[in-house]
Amino acid sequence: MSSPSPFVVHNDACRAILGEGPTLELLAEKSYPFAHEAGVFIASRNELFITSNRIHDSGGGQRVQITKVHLNNASASDAVACEEISVPIPMANGGINYKDGIIICAQGSMDVPSGLYYLSIEPPYSTKLLKSDFHGRPFNSVNDVVIHSDGTIWFTDPIYGYEQGYRPAPRLPNQVYRFNPVDGSIRAMADGFGRPNGICFSPDEKVVYVTDTDWIHGDGTTDDTRPSSIYAFDVVLYHGQPFLTNRRLFAMADSAIPDGIKCDLNGNVYSGCGDGVNIWSPGGELLGRILVEGGVANFCFGRNGEIFLLNENRLWRARLKGNVKGALLGI
């Protein structure tokens, strides 16, 4: 008896995304949750940077491991090589391609600030802190990040680090920010979240999507009446500056939370949820799912329909229709 397909179609429009024969293959598996967040594909090197979930040391401390995955185009039977790298980025989380390297969100520690770090992708993997405060008030636990075509850096800052015991008491609300690395300006762009988490732009950058993962708090408690939702905002200009308007509920994840979020070039919205990756149309209709036992926190697009799924102890690669391309890299 054949096992059920991991690809679930809710709307026929999903078939144009999945193609004739989508596949899901296990690329790597480890004894610890090495595949949790970030998911940054470096096309020129065929490499993937990922961050682990929290690792508890024997002395009671907590840390996050960054791994560089050396990919290949072979079959799933050929394991990929995973290189653990050591850099001074405290409790690394989300990440994104930036110039010749990566921006990594550092959730911080009790004595090292949370913020945005630049990470080079070649040894010795140098780092530089770009921003750690809102006009002197330290960020809580910067979680995820996206880059606008104008060069500004947009990111979310929930209070998970404090709730998980490795950050001081919060001094800022749960908000979305915009940082301009050219002039150093920082603006709060959206508030009113329980726990803002994933963030991405639509391909035309007219819409920002933000996931609210308030369903689960840092201590592990959950509440089905709290948001596990994706909100959409219109990006509009007033007096030459961007504002987020027309906040609306775009979608709700029925399984756990929508965490990492990305768009393809057609504007479809993908998010890592408690049952895998869910796919919505630009109009908010659930099109389909890629089911992965244990769920997916984050993911990223590779080339020509590839998606790399971060499933804690496992790293998977889904292959969809070849003309499906992620909006971030357009490949």
Nearest-angstrom CA–CA distance, 88 and 111 = 13
Q: 68 lies in a domain?
A: yes
| CATH code: domain of residue 282 | 2.120.10.30
pLDDT at 73: 55
Domain extent, residue 221, equals: 7-319
Model confidence pTM above 0.85: yes
Q: 118 lies in a domain?
A: yes
- Report which DSSP code applies to 112: S
3-state secondary structure 261-324: EEEECCCCEEEEECCEEEEECCCCCEEEEEECCCCCCEEEECCCCEEEEEEECEEEEEECCCCC
Partners of residue 263 on adjacent β-strands = 269
Q: 130 lies in a domain?
A: yes
- Distance, CA of 208 to chain centre: 14
Which amino acid is residue 111, in one-letter code? Answer: D
Q: 325 lies in a domain?
A: no
Helix (H) or strand (E) holding 229: strand 229-238
Q: 329 lies in a domain?
A: no
Q: 59 lies in a domain?
A: yes
Q: 330 lies in a domain?
A: no
Q: What is the pLDDT along the chain (331 residues), one digit of tens a residue?
A: 556 899 999 999 999 999 999 999 999 999 999 999 999 999 999 999 999 999 998 888 899 999 999 997 555 445 699 999 999 999 999 999 999 999 999 999 999 999 999 999 999 999 999 999 999 999 999 999 999 999 999 999 999 999 999 999 999 999 999 999 999 999 999 999 999 999 999 999 999 999 999 999 999 999 999 999 999 999 999 999 999 999 999 999 999 999 999 999 999 999 999 999 999 999 999 999 999 999 999 999 999 999 999 999 999 999 999 999 999 999 9
Partners of residue 106 on adjacent β-strands = 92, 115
Helix (H) or strand (E) holding 160: helix 160-163
- Report which DSSP code applies to 313: T
Q: What is the DSSP string of 162-208?
A: HHTTSSPPP-S-SEEEEE-TTT--EEEEE---SSEEEEEE-TTSSEE
Number of domains in the chain: 1
Helix (H) or strand (E) holding 18: helix 15-18
Q: 310 lies in a domain?
A: yes
